[in-house]
Amino acid sequence: MSANDNFDESPNHFMVLDAISSGITNIEKTARATKLHNHEVESIISDLVTQRLIVKGERKGFIIGKKKVEVGITEIGNKLLNAKKQDLEQKRQQMQQSYDNGDGTQLQSYIDANRMWIPMMLFSGIMDMMFFTSIMSFMGLGINPM
């Protein structure tokens, strides 16, 4: 994804931005936390730097003196992340309301419309795993350990 693409349609960018905002400043740790590949995280970080949502810096290593790349979120990045989290929270509340009412067709339409954002909702804690598995069970899509 380049800086010209629509940033609002990339949950991976928001997951990396959320990881950085929560204090994970190392690229390798960010990749581990988000379950994305290192090269994908590096590409996303370069996009976020280009869009001025994060800043990139270097820190000298502890023993060998090797420089480590660290990133931090900017005020603009923080505002954008918070706005997206509020939007996703509203979507989760709509799903919760449909689930509570027993409206399976409405719930299915919310899931279909927001399918790509569910990993971001789970990663950032907007939706917990118990609610997610309850929804899947309600719709007859039980998750097998196999």
DSSP 2-58: -TTS-GGG-HHHHHHHHHHHTT--BHHHHHHHHT--HHHHHHHHHHHHHTTSEEEEE
pLDDT attached to residue 13? 94
Amino acid symbol at 31: A
Query: What pTM does this model have?
Result: 0.81
Residues 74 and 88 placed together within one structural domain of the fold: no
Are 134 and 107 within one domain?
Answer: yes
Can you give the pLDDT at residue 103? 86
Which domain-ending residue is among 50, 78, 106?
A: 78
The answer to whether residues 48 and 72 belong to one domain is yes
At residue 127, φ and ψ (nearest 5 deg) are -120, 130
107, part of any domain: yes
Using 50 as the pLDDT threshold, list the residues of the chain that sit under it. 1-5, 146
Same structural domain, 16 and 61: yes
Q: Which amino acid is at 105?
A: T
Over residues 75-96, the pLDDT tens digits come to 999 999 999 999 999 999 999 9
Same domain, 74 and 96: no
Query: Quick one: 41 and 89 in the same domain?
Result: no
- Tell me how many domains the chain contains: 2
The pLDDT, as a whole number, for residue 3 is 43
The whole-number pLDDT of residue 97 equals 93
Q: How far apart are CA 120 and CA 123, in angstroms?
A: 5
pLDDT at residue 69, rounded to an integer: 79
pLDDT for res 2: 43
**In terms of residue numbers, what domain contains 96?**
84-138
Helix 27-34 and helix 38-50, axial crossing angle in degrees, nearest 10: 110
What local confidence, expressed as pLDDT, does residue 7 receive?
58
Question: Tell me, what's the pLDDT at 91?
Answer: 93
| pLDDT given for residue 12 in this prediction | 93
Predicted confidence at residue 6, as pLDDT, reads: 54
Q: Residue 71: what are its φ and ψ, rounded to 5°?
A: -125, 155
SS3 146: coil
Domain end residue (candidates: 78, 109, 130): 78
Looking at the fold, whether 52 and 108 belong to one and the same domain comes out as no
DSSP state at residue 144: P
Task: Judge if 71 and 18 occupy the same domain.
Answer: yes
Say if residue 88 is in the same domain as residue 74.
no
